[in-house]
Amino acid sequence: MGSAQDWSGFQDEYLKQLKKKSYAELSALPEKQKVSVPDCFGRGRFSLLKKRGERGGIRIEVEWKERFLLIFVSKYVLGFEILKDGTVIEDDGFEDAEQEIKETACWFGRTGLHEETERELPRYLRLEFGESVLDDDCLKASDLCYIGHAKILENEKEHFSSESIFVHCWKMPGSNSENSTYAYVETDESGNERGTGMGNYLPIALTK
């Protein structure tokens, strides 16, 4: 199976070829199409996406998704925007957008965590999945279902950071009764964040 560097190199070269095309040629592309890749890349999915650009042009993205449990998630996304006059605008400003865009979710303000800690969780998850808040189909704060928080028992410490005392849990989209994935924010006794992550374990206290 190809490495992350292989995928990134393939994407870079593919984008270079796309940037040579005219605005009219890129406009004629479908909104989404599968891209054929060398067999060495294994089970990943590689797609070409066309979206409305932030500056009035067309945004073109090449996206690699790989399987995470039962779903495919974005791992690497690269792209650019082309204007009608043929000007190509390279990617920038995604980190600023993550900070500036204020998401809404029913669990904001109800977890007992600091507001910035709450808002940082979906940002962290998007970073892990290779997504941006500007993507139409990215993970959003409202996609997460807050379950609650619990004290970490001695026999549960292997699942969390050694410095953590409590853990807050959210169910991730795509979870079901047989295969669930959870997002975590771990804290110390005073409520200070000690770690953020995701996994398949749900603390015993939250299963009741």
DSSP string of 72-118? EEEEEEEEEEE-TTS-EEE---HHHHHHH-----TTTTSSSS-HHHH
39-70 pLDDT, tens digit per residue, is 666 556 788 889 888 788 899 988 776 554 44
Write down the pLDDT at residue 103.
92
- Structural contact between residues 58 and 84, judged by C-beta atoms closer than 8 angstroms: no
| pLDDT score recorded for residue 68 | 46
Chain centroid, CA 191 distance in Å:
26
Average pLDDT over residues 20-35: 92
Averaged pLDDT for residues 111-115: 93
